[in-house]
Structure 1
Amino acid sequence: MSDTTTIHDVTYDLLRKLGLTTVFGNPGSTEQTFLKDFPDDFTYVLGLQEGSVLGMADGFAQATGKPALVNLHTAAGTGNAIGSLVAAYKANTPLIVTAGQQTREMLLSDPYLANRAATEMPQPWVKWSYEPARAEDVPAAFMQAYTIAMQEPKGPVFLSIPLDDWDKPALGPAVVRTSSQHTEPDRTRLGEFADRINRAQRPLVVFGPEVDRAGGWDAGIAFAEKLGAPVLGTALPERISFPEDHPLWVGQLPMSIAGVNQAVHGHDLVIIIGAQVFRYYPYIAGEYLPEGTELLQFTSDPHLAAVAPVGDSLLGDVRVALEELVGLIEVPADRQPPTQLVFPRNVDDSERSAPMTANAVYAAVSAHKPDDAVVVMESTSTMLDQKTWLPTTQPGSFFATGSGGIGWGVPASVGIALGDRARGVKRTIIATIGDGSFEYSVQAIWTAAQHKLPIVFVVLRNGEYSVLKSFAELEQTPNVPGLELPGLDIAALGTGFGCRAATVENTDDLEREFLAALEPDGPTVIVAPTRPQDAGLS
C-alpha cells in the first residue's frame, strides 16, 4: 500500500463495502476532516439539529433493515442527539453514531470543543462506546461497531474520533469480516415450551415489536391461526406485528400492572413473543398475573428476559422460534375462536367542524389513505382513535417512538421516506403528530422539503399537552403549569421550511387537502384544530 493512503481513504473504502454510503449529519469543525472531499457515490443527508439528525437515521435504518451512519459534532452535538439515541436504543435500531473529537495532541490540556469523557457520554444508550487508542485503529473500530450494531439485540453504537486521525497513514486495507446476525433458540427448551402450549386450555398470544423487526409477520400469523388463540399487542408499541383487522386480533394490552392482570384474566397461559413482560407506564398496583395463569416469553433480548417479573423465557430469534413452533403445536379440535374485536366507527356531525374531534380527523384520513401507506404515530392522547380508523394490516407499516420521549416522529418520518427511496419502494408516509410533538423537531421538515419526500404531516392541534393533563388526573396533581400551547402558527412554520401547508376548518377541508397532499412531489403539513381529550391511561 502507498504511504499516501490515509485512514480517511481506507475507512471510506470499508464503508462502501459495508453498504454504509448514506451519512446523516450536521457538520461541525471537528467533523470536517472526516467529511472532506466527500465522495460522489456517498449521500450526505443534512439535518438542522442533531436530535433530528439521529431520528432521521433511526427511521432510515428501520425502513431498510440495515445500519445507518450518523455523524455528530463532538460533545455538543452528541448532547443534542441523546434524546433520539434513547429512542433508537429502545427500538433496537442498528446505528453507527460517530462524533468528532479534538486533536489528540491537545486533549491533555482540555481544549475548546474537546469531549472530555467521550465514551461515557452516550451511555447507557448504546451497546458499545469507543474512542480508538490510535489513529491506525479507526477502520477496525468501524468494522467492530458494525458487527456489534447488527448482533441481536440490534442497537446503536458510538465512536469518538479525533479530528487529526483521518490524515494519518493507514497500516493497510481494512479487514472486512462477517458475523452471525441471528441466534437460534435452544431446541430442547423450545420443545418444552411447545409442550406447555399444547397442554394449555385457554392460551393468549401477545405479539411485540421484535416480531415485525425480525421479519416474522407471516410466521406470527401462521402460529396464531394454528393455535386458534386470541392475539393482543403490547402497550405503547413502536412496531405492530400482527394485522389489526385479523379475526384473532382482540386489541392491545393496557399500560398498568392491574390493567394487564385484568386483560389476561381467564387464560391459563400467556405467550409473549418479541416483547417485554410487560411494558408498564402509569403505576396502578396489582398482581402481575392472575392466580392459575402461567407465562412464556420468547425474545432475542437477554435484558428483557432478565427483567421479566414473572414467567419463563426463551432466548433466540423470534421469527425462527415462530417458524419452529408452527410444526410443534397441536391444537384441540374443540377450541372455540375468540370473539373478534370490533371498534365502533361513527362520526357525528358535531365532530366535523373545528375544533374537530380526533375521531373525526382519523376518519377523514382513513377515507383516502392508500392501502400501502405507512403510519408514523406521535399523538399520544389520540392513540385509541388512531387504532380505530387506521389499523395496521401490513408488515413494516407502523412506527412510533420506542422511548416515550416526544420529538421522534417528525424526523423518523423523514428517515423512513428516505429509506424507502433507497430501497426502491414508493409509498406515502402519513405522520399523525400532536402539536407539542411537532414543535420538538420541526426543523426536520426542511430536510423533507429538500428531498421532496412523500410525507403528509397531519398535525392534531389541540393547543395543549393533553396526555400530561390525563396524567395529572391519574396522579391527582392539579394546577400543573406549562401544559397549554397557545399562539402556534404551525402552517406558517410548514411554509417557512419549504413545505406545502394548510390549516383546515372541517373534515371536508381535511379530506380535500389530504387528497391534494397525495399528488405533489414533496411533503405537506396539514393542521387540524382538534378538541382536547382524555388519553385513556387507566
Structure 2
Amino acid sequence: MSVREATYAFLRSVGINKIFGNPGSTELAMFRDFPDDFEYVLGLHEGAVVAMADGYAVASDNATVVNLHSAAGVGNAMGSVFTAFRNQAPIIIIAGQQSRALLPVEPFLYSERATELPRPYVKWSIEPARAEDVPAAIARAYYIAMQEPRGPTFVSVPADDWDRPGEPVAPRQVSRLVRPDPAMIAELRTALAEASNPVFVVGQANANAGAWDETIALAELHQAPVYAGPHAARNSFPETHPLFAGHLLWDRAPLVKTLTGHDLIVVLGAPAFIYHVEGTGPFIPEGATLWQVIDDPSIASWSPVGNAIVGNMKLAINDLLDSAPLTSRTPPPPRVRLPAPAPDRLTDAYLMSRIEAICPDDRVIVCEAPSSLDVMRAHLPMKEPASYYAHASGGLGYGLASAIGIAMAEPRRRVIALIGDGSSMYAIQALWTAVKLGTPVVFVIVNNQAYQALVGFGRLLGMGVPVGTVIDGLDFVKLAEGMSMKGEAITEASALDAALHRAFAFAGPYLLEVRTQAA
C-alpha cells in the first residue's frame, strides 16, 4: 500500500469523500489514480476553495479536506483560513511541498517554514519527518479538527511522499466533547432559579453543537428573554419566538444599557463579549452577575468578568435543564417588529422583506453584506435551525463561496447568498464552481456601489466619506454571464418580486444584482 492509498483509505473510513482544491505541481502525485468514490471540487482561487470547504464542513457536521499549493497557494488562502478558524470549521488542509531530495537546495515553489505559515489560525500543523508518517499525521489532523472547539488543521506533504510505501491507519473512536463541570453547572442552575430577572445571550457554539431545541427549552423554562450575541455567525434561537429580544451591539456602552435591569446574564455559546468599537466603563450592568458556558477554553480565559464553564453546549444545556425547578416568572413583552417597507423605493430593507415574503421558510441564508446586516435582521428573521451562516472573523471573501459548500451539504434546502458588492469581489471566481456543479444557490448581490459599512463606521469616527470606499462601475450580471451563470439586474422595486420568483424557480445557480437605493 502506498502513502496515497493509505491516506484515501483512512479518509474513506471517517466519511470523507470530497476534496476541495486548487492544485499545483507539488500536489499532483496525490491525485494519481484518483479514486472513483471521491469527488474533487475545483475552485479557481485558494481563498474561495477554503471558504467552500468551510461551509460544507460546518453544514455537514464532519471534517473535509482542502488541497492547497505550497507557500503561495497557502498564502492566497490565509484570509479564508482565518475565517474558518473563527467559524470553528473542521478542515484538514493538505498542502504540497517540494520533493524531500530538493529541499536542501531551496528549490522553486517550496515552503521554507511550511508549518509556521498558517499559524496561529490552525489548531495543529505538521510536516511529517518521514513519508510513511503521512497517513498517521492526516489521521491525527482529523481527530484534532473534530475535537471541540473544532477548527482547521494543516499537513504539509512533500511531493515524493505519496508514492512511497505506507501503512494503513485504522480509524479509532476519539472523544470529541468535554463534559462541563457538574459542580459549576449546579451553581448556575441555582443562580437561575434564584434570579429575579435573568437573561440569556446565545452564540454560534450552540448551533455548532446542535443545541437548538435545548436552548428553546431552557429559555421557556425560565421565561427569560434571549439575545443573540454581537456578530453571531450562526443562529441559535428562533427570531420569531416570543422570548427573542434581538441582537446585541458590539459597542460596550449600548450593550450594557440593553442588559440593564437583569440581575443574571447567562452567555451560552458566545464570547462575553465581542467588541468592534472602543469603549469605557463596566462590562456588565451594576448589580448583575455573569455566567458563561462555552466550548472554547481560550474564550473563557479572556472573558473580563464573570464565571465560565467550559464544555459541550448541548451537554451543558441538558444539564441545566435536568432537575431544574419550575419558575413562575412573567414572560417579557414580545419584541415589536418593524412594519414592511413601502414598495416605492428599492432599498435593502424592501429587498429583505420581499425575500421573507416569497422564499420558503426552509431556507438557508448566507450573509456577507455588512451594511445590510441590521435591516436583514429586522425584516428577514431566522426561524429554523442551521438556517443562517456568516463569517465570524469579519474578513471578507467567505459568503459567496461558502454558500456553494453549504448547498452541497444541504441539497434539499434553498440556499440564498446575500452578498455585498464589495464582498463579492473577494471570491467572485466561485461562481464558476457553482455552475460546474449545478449548485442551486441564489446569489443576491446587494449593490450600493460602495464599501457602505465602512462609510457608516466612518460616521462613528466623525468622518465624512472615507477614502477608498466608492466601487462603482461593476456589472455583476456580465461577470456571471462570463462564467456561464444566468442572472439579471433589478433597478426598480416593481421588478423585484418577479425576479425573485424566477430565481427561486430556477434549477441551478442564479444571480440577482439588486441595485439598491438609500433609505
Normalised-by-shorter TM-score class? over 0.9
Match of 2:87 among 68, 91, 108: 91
Structure 1 residue aligned with 2:477: 491
Structure 2 residue aligned with 1:310: 305
Structure 2 residue aligned with 1:536: none
Match of 1:456 among 432, 439, 442: 442
Structure 1 residue aligned with 2:398: 408
Structure 1 residue aligned with 2:248: 253
Match of 1:341 among 335, 340, 349: 335
Match of 1:363 among 353, 358, 363: 353
Matched residue SS, 2:95:
strand
Structure 2 residue aligned with 1:529: 515
Structure 1 residue aligned with 2:238: 243
Using the alignment, how far apart are the partners of 1:151 and 1:397 within structure 2? 23
1:186 maps onto 2:181 in alignment: yes
Using the alignment, how far apart are the partners of 2:246 and 2:377 within structure 1? 9
Using the alignment, how far apart are the partners of 1:72 and 1:345 within structure 2? 48
Give 1:243 deviation, angstroms.
0.2
Using the alignment, how far apart are the partners of 2:236 and 2:185 within structure 1? 21
After superposition, what is the alpha-carbon deviation per residue over 1:482-513, rounded to whole angstroms, capped at 9, x for unaligned? 10011101111111112110001223322111
Using the alignment, how far apart are the partners of 1:523 and 1:44 within structure 2? 19
Letter in 1 for 2:84: A
Match of 1:469 among 437, 455, 475: 455
Structure 1 residue aligned with 2:491: 505
Give 1:332 deviation, angstroms.
3.7
1:232 maps onto 2:224 in alignment: no
Does structure 2 conserve the Cα–Cα contact (< 8 Å) formed by 1:454 and 1:522?
yes
Using the alignment, how far apart are the partners of 1:195 and 1:436 within structure 2? 48
Letter in 1 for 2:500: F
Structure 1 residue aligned with 2:321: 326
- After superposition, the Cα gap between the structure-2 partners of 1:223 and 1:178, relative to the gap in structure 1 and judged at 3 Å, is same
Match of 1:219 among 214, 218, 223: 214
Give 1:108 deviation, angstroms.
1.5
Does structure 2 conserve the Cα–Cα contact (< 8 Å) formed by 1:25 and 1:46?
yes
Letter in 2 for 1:184: R
After superposition, what is the alpha-carbon deviation per residue over 1:73-122, rounded to whole angstroms, capped at 9, x for unaligned? 00111001110011110011100011000011111111111100100000
Structure 1 residue aligned with 2:197: 202
Match of 2:344 among 330, 339, 350: 350
Letter in 2 for 1:457: F
Q: TM-score, normalised by structure 1?
A: 0.95
Structure 2 residue aligned with 1:164: 160
Q: TM-score, normalised by structure 2?
A: 0.98
Segment drifting more, 13-22 vs 37-46: 13-22
Using the alignment, how far apart are the partners of 1:165 and 1:417 within structure 2? 34
Matches for 1:11-22 after TM superposition, within 5 Å: 11-22=7-18
Using the alignment, how far apart are the partners of 1:284 and 1:345 within structure 2? 32
Does structure 1 conserve the Cα–Cα contact (< 8 Å) formed by 2:47 and 2:77?
yes
Percent identity for Structure 1 against Structure 2 = 40
Structure 2 residue aligned with 1:275: 270
Using the alignment, how far apart are the partners of 2:327 and 2:357 within structure 1? 41
Letter in 2 for 1:496: G
1:434 maps onto 2:423 in alignment: no
Structure 2 residue aligned with 1:69: 65
Using the alignment, how far apart are the partners of 1:269 and 1:362 within structure 2? 34
Give 1:453 deviation, angstroms.
1.0
Does structure 2 conserve the Cα–Cα contact (< 8 Å) formed by 1:413 and 1:455?
yes
Letter in 1 for 2:250: M
Letter in 1 for 2:199: L
Structure 2 residue aligned with 1:110: 106
After superposition, what is the alpha-carbon deviation per residue over 1:436-463, rounded to whole angstroms, capped at 9, x for unaligned? 0111110101111111111111111100
Letter in 1 for 2:400: V
- After superposition, the Cα gap between the structure-2 partners of 1:479 and 1:347, relative to the gap in structure 1 and judged at 3 Å, is closer
Does structure 2 conserve the Cα–Cα contact (< 8 Å) formed by 1:194 and 1:328?
no
Matched residue SS, 1:361:
helix
Using the alignment, how far apart are the partners of 2:301 and 2:325 within structure 1? 29
Does structure 2 conserve the Cα–Cα contact (< 8 Å) formed by 1:427 and 1:454?
no
Does structure 2 conserve the Cα–Cα contact (< 8 Å) formed by 1:101 and 1:161?
yes
List gaps (5 residues or longer) in structure 2.
none
List gaps (5 residues or longer) in structure 1.
534-538
Structure 2 residue aligned with 1:133: 129
Segment drifting more, 340-349 vs 260-269: 340-349
Segment drifting more, 215-224 vs 191-200: 191-200
Structure 2 residue aligned with 1:52: 48
Using the alignment, how far apart are the partners of 1:231 and 1:25 within structure 2? 40
Does structure 2 conserve the Cα–Cα contact (< 8 Å) formed by 1:227 and 1:330?
no
Give 1:330 deviation, angstroms.
2.2
Give 1:433 deviation, angstroms.
0.8
Does structure 2 conserve the Cα–Cα contact (< 8 Å) formed by 1:456 and 1:514?
no
1:447 maps onto 2:410 in alignment: no
Matched residue SS, 1:24:
strand
Does structure 1 conserve the Cα–Cα contact (< 8 Å) formed by 2:343 and 2:493?
no
Using the alignment, how far apart are the partners of 1:25 and 1:332 within structure 2? 53
Instruction: Let me know the Cα RMSD of the aligned residues.
Output: 1.1
Match of 1:392 among 357, 375, 382: 382
Segment drifting more, 518-527 vs 47-56: 518-527
After superposition, what is the alpha-carbon deviation per residue over 1:172-213, rounded to whole angstroms, capped at 9, x for unaligned? 322321200111111111111111111111101111111111
Using the alignment, how far apart are the partners of 1:501 and 1:286 within structure 2? 50
After superposition, what is the alpha-carbon deviation per residue over 1:243-284, rounded to whole angstroms, capped at 9, x for unaligned? 000000010111111121111101101000001010111213
Using the alignment, how far apart are the partners of 1:518 and 1:348 within structure 2? 23
Give 1:471 deviation, angstroms.
1.2
Using the alignment, how far apart are the partners of 1:331 and 1:177 within structure 2? 42
Using the alignment, how far apart are the partners of 2:139 and 2:343 within structure 1? 59
Structure 1 residue aligned with 2:503: 517
- After superposition, the Cα gap between the structure-2 partners of 1:78 and 1:532, relative to the gap in structure 1 and judged at 3 Å, is farther
Using the alignment, how far apart are the partners of 1:240 and 1:199 within structure 2? 28
Using the alignment, how far apart are the partners of 1:21 and 1:37 within structure 2? 15
Using the alignment, how far apart are the partners of 1:349 and 1:196 within structure 2? 48
After superposition, what is the alpha-carbon deviation per residue over 1:369-406, rounded to whole angstroms, capped at 9, x for unaligned? 11101001111111121112211111111000010011
Give 1:479 deviation, angstroms.
5.4
After superposition, what is the alpha-carbon deviation per residue over 1:5-50, rounded to whole angstroms, capped at 9, x for unaligned? 2111111111111211100001110000001111110000000000
Using the alignment, how far apart are the partners of 1:499 and 1:433 within structure 2? 16
Does structure 2 conserve the Cα–Cα contact (< 8 Å) formed by 1:131 and 1:159?
yes
Structure 2 residue aligned with 1:299: 294
Letter in 1 for 2:513: V
Using the alignment, how far apart are the partners of 1:268 and 1:479 within structure 2? 41
